[in-house]
Amino acid sequence: MKVLSDLKTVVKSRFYSKLRGGKVRCELCERRCRIPPGEYGYCKTRVNIDGELFTVVYGYLSALESRPIEVKPFFHYHPGSTALTFSTWSCNFDCPWCQNHGLSKTAPKLEVAKFTPPKTVVEIALRNGDDGLCASFQEPTLLTDYNLEVFKLGSKVGLYSCYVSNGYMTEKVLTSLKEAGMDGLKIDVKGDPETYLKYCGGIDVYKVWKNAEKAKTMGFHVEIVNLIVTGVNDDEACLRFIVENHIKRLGVDTPIHFTRYYPAFKFSNPPTPVDKLVEAYQIAKKAGIKFPYIGNVLGHPLEDTYCPNCGKRLIKRFGFKVVDYKVTDDGKCPYCREEIPIRT
């Protein structure tokens, strides 16, 4: 293992504890893998080298590009801005319909790994004219040791930082990200407990909701996304489970997006009918959520932001572009002065 530890992308992790017999417990995500010497954890990005836990993807980037923040989707977080978005490889979930499976279902290939220094990411963002940084595409929790350094550097030059995540990180990771300057968290909620157990590799959905709630209380801007997969999580009971937990844990002011699935990876089920997205929107709206949205439906009016008090349209979007923005500088509806929770 000595050759492996000499690679620039192989760095000792901050998130683990030592166990007997040279084993370690990874404390990056709630799987909390117990890893024997010489073995990898579930996600294939953490390895036990002589009783110490190392990340093998420190600065090993699979993608790096400027993207509108609305792509994530974030609709109430720096609207109209762009974020330099980056990722590594692999995932800690097993979703068979993954829309980014080319990255999330590929294990790191250390023989071809190239190291990108944290400062380089920040320099590229500034050169591109980006407003922030976003770890996305695959599960960013797996890149956290690296992201902490990137975000610290970014915050010093005025860049915001955010995650597009499945929400299964440990509280220790969440706290470290907050301390590094990250303040935006979009969490994908896959469905009800049965959905997670059957399709995502035995994940506990209540730990996802717990993290969302904890992030909100810590001061993160949180938005929830539910990709509605045909025949998987599109029944009314599942949708109501999501809406009820959203209200209970995050409140009615937190945005929720119901987005359209398209066949990908191992799944060939037909695309989500738009009527099903509208049904989910209506369930959320009738339950009291002030800012429900549908997504992946180009030009649909339910991708726009409306005042929950007077009903006037405040933000018009087309695709991932903001084409009209009427929220006042002090975060209010210009027509009735209702407060609109948007972080800028």
- Structural domain boundaries in the chain: 2-55, 63-302, 304-344
Residues 6+ apart with CB under 8 A from 158: none
pLDDT over 70 (residue 2): no
C-alpha 224/C-alpha 254 separation (Å) is: 8
Q: Is 224 left (phi over 0), alpha (psi -120 to 50) or beta?
A: beta
φ/ψ (deg, to 5) at 331 = 75, 40
Written as one letter, the residue type at 83 is A
Q: What is the mean pLDDT of residues 68-92?
A: 98
Distances, alpha carbon 107 to alpha carbons 142, 166, 331, in Å: 12, 18, 43
Q: Outline where 6-106 has alpha helix (H).
A: 101-104
- Percentage of the chain lying above the pLDDT 90 cut: 98
CA-based torsion, 82, 66, 83, 262: positive or negative: positive
Tell me the whole-structure pTM to 2 decimals.
0.97
What is the pLDDT confidence band of residue 6, given thresholds at 50, 70 and 90?
A: confident
- At 231-268, the pLDDT tens digits run 999 999 999 999 999 999 999 999 999 999 999 999 99
Options 3.65.10.10, 3.90.550.10, 3.40.50.2300, 3.20.20.70; CATH of 63-302:
3.20.20.70
Max CA distance (Å), the chain: 66
